[in-house]
Amino acid sequence: MKQDIYDRHFAQDIFSRLSGTYDTVNRISSFGYSTKWRRQLLQQLPIGLEPKRTLDLFSGIGETWHHIKDRFPGTEITAIDFSPGMVLQANKMNLLHFNGDVKVLKGDVLKAELPNGYFDLVVCAFGLKSLAPDQLAHIAKLTERVLAPGGRFAFIETSMPPGRLVRMLFSFHIRYVVPAFGFIFGHAEEFRMLWRYTSAYRNSQHAVDAFSQEGLEVFSDSYFYGCATGFHGEKRR
C-alpha cells in the first residue's frame, strides 16, 4: 500500500525518529546551505522592523532561533512543532542557548489555537513541504489570522529548481546523497523522505497563491537557482 506522506502521524513519526541527527545531517549534507538560507530568510524582512512577538512555525529543534535573535534581538519567540523528539531537542536548545526564554509549544500547527492578531512576525523554515495543498491553504489562513495588522511573514522551502541541469544535480543530491549521509547516522529511510516531500512540493508558487488569496501582500523569493523558494510579505493594515 502506498504511504500517505501527508498523514499527520507518519510525518510526526519520521521527524521524531531523526530528531537527534537532523541538525547535523542537515548541515553536512547541505554543505552549510540550510543555515545560510535560514539567515537569508530573515534578511528578506525590511530594515528597521522591530517585531515584539515572533511565531516560528514547524520549528523543529529551533534551528531558526539564532537567526531570528541576531536580526531582532528584542523579539519574544513562540515556537510550535508536533514531533515529540524535535520538541525534546528544542527544549534542550532553549535552555542551553536562550535561557528558556522561547515559548515552545508541542502541537499540530493545523489545529493550534493561537491568539488572533497577536504576532508581529511569522517565520517558517522548511516546514511547508510536508503539507498537502489544502493544509497549505490552512497555513495561509492561520498566518493571516494570528498576525497583527502590518505584521510580516517569511517562509522558505526546499524546491525543485527550474533549470534542467541544476534540477538534475539537485535531485541527485537530495535523492541519493542526503540519504547516504543519513545512512551514516542510522536514518537513511527517514532522510529519503526529503526527496519525496520536495519532489511533490515542487516550489512555493501554490503557497504564494494561497497566501495572496487571504489578502496578504506576498513577494516570491528564490534561493540558489531555485533549490529553495519562498515568499515574504505583510498583512495590510
Ligand X SMILES: C[S@@+](CC[C@H](N)C(=O)[O-])C[C@H]1O[C@@H](n2cnc3c(N)ncnc32)[C@H](O)[C@@H]1O
Binding stretches for ligand X (CB under 6 A): 8, 11, 15, 38, 58-60, 63-64, 81-83, 86, 108-110, 125-127, 130
Kindly state the DSSP code that residue 177 receives in the 8-state scheme. Answer: I
Q: Indicate the pairing of strand 147-158 with strand 217-223.
A: unpaired
Q: Which three cell numbers stand for residue 37?
A: 538560507
**SS3 call for 95:** helix
**SS3 call for 204:** coil
How far apart are CB 171 and ligand X at their closest, in Å?
Answer: 18
The residue (of 24 and 116) whose beta carbon lies closer to ligand X is 24
By C-alpha distance, which of 48, 109, 99, 45 is closest to 77? 99
The residue (of 110 and 168) whose beta carbon lies closer to ligand X is 110
How far apart are CB 128 and ligand X at their closest, in Å?
Answer: 9
**Quick check: 82 and 109 in contact, CB under 8 A?**
yes
The residue (of 143 and 149) whose beta carbon lies closer to ligand X is 143
The residue (of 93 and 147) whose beta carbon lies closer to ligand X is 93
- For the chain, give me the number of helices (H) and strands (E)? 10, 7
How far apart are CB 13 and ligand X at their closest, in Å?
Answer: 9
Which residue of this chain has its Cβ atom nearest to ligand X in the complex? Answer: 60
How far apart are CB 62 and ligand X at their closest, in Å?
Answer: 8
Could you give the CA distance from residue 126 to residue 27 in angstroms, rounded to a whole number?
13
How far apart are CB 88 and ligand X at their closest, in Å?
Answer: 11
The residue (of 47 and 211) whose beta carbon lies closer to ligand X is 211
